[in-house]
Structure 1
Amino acid sequence: MGLTLSELRQDRILNEAAETADPLHLMCLFGITRLTAMRYVTAAPPERTAKLPR
């Protein structure tokens, strides 16, 4: 498919962030830091994250 393992992981994290918009869930599931989880959540589609505090 032309994707590296790192790109595939990033895609999965972003997809999960778009579905849940829950940084704690991302931290537990992928073992990422709070800051990284928040970056993914804020990069998710805006209609899912519009109610999150900025």
Structure 2
Amino acid sequence: MRTAFDQIGLLPRQLWTNRVLDEARETADPICLVRLFGIHPRIAVKYVQTAHPDKALPRIR
């Protein structure tokens, strides 16, 4: 599997990050990202804010 990633010049982490960001662009819902990818809510909010800088989300404590 590593050979395939080396051939295209990507790391698995980069691919995963791009996938999460793409989903954030589509849904703009941090809860969906938490459920789908199992990430922390604060991280999910950061992805949504990156994907939609024009939309303000409430802060998570």
TM-score after normalising by structure 2: 0.74
User: What is the deviation of 1:27?
Assistant: 0.3
User: What is the TM-score with the length of structure 1 in the denominator?
Assistant: 0.83
For these two proteins, the number of residue pairs brought into alignment is: 51
Structure 2: where are the runs of 5+ without partners? 1-7
Residue 5 (structure 2) aligns with: none
Once superposed, which parts of structure 1, at least 4 consecutive aligned residues long, lie more than 4 Å away?
A: none
Residue type of the partner of 1:26? L
* Aligned equivalent of 2:29: 22
Please list every run of 5 or more consecutive structure 1 residues that lacks an aligned counterpart in the other structure: none
Could you list the per-position Cα deviations for residues 8-50 of structure 1 after superposition, in whole angstroms to 9, with x for gaps in the alignment? 000000000000000000000000000000000000044xx53
RMSD: 1.4
Q: Which residue is 1:32 aligned to?
A: 39
Higher relative contact order (CA 8 A, sep 6+): 1
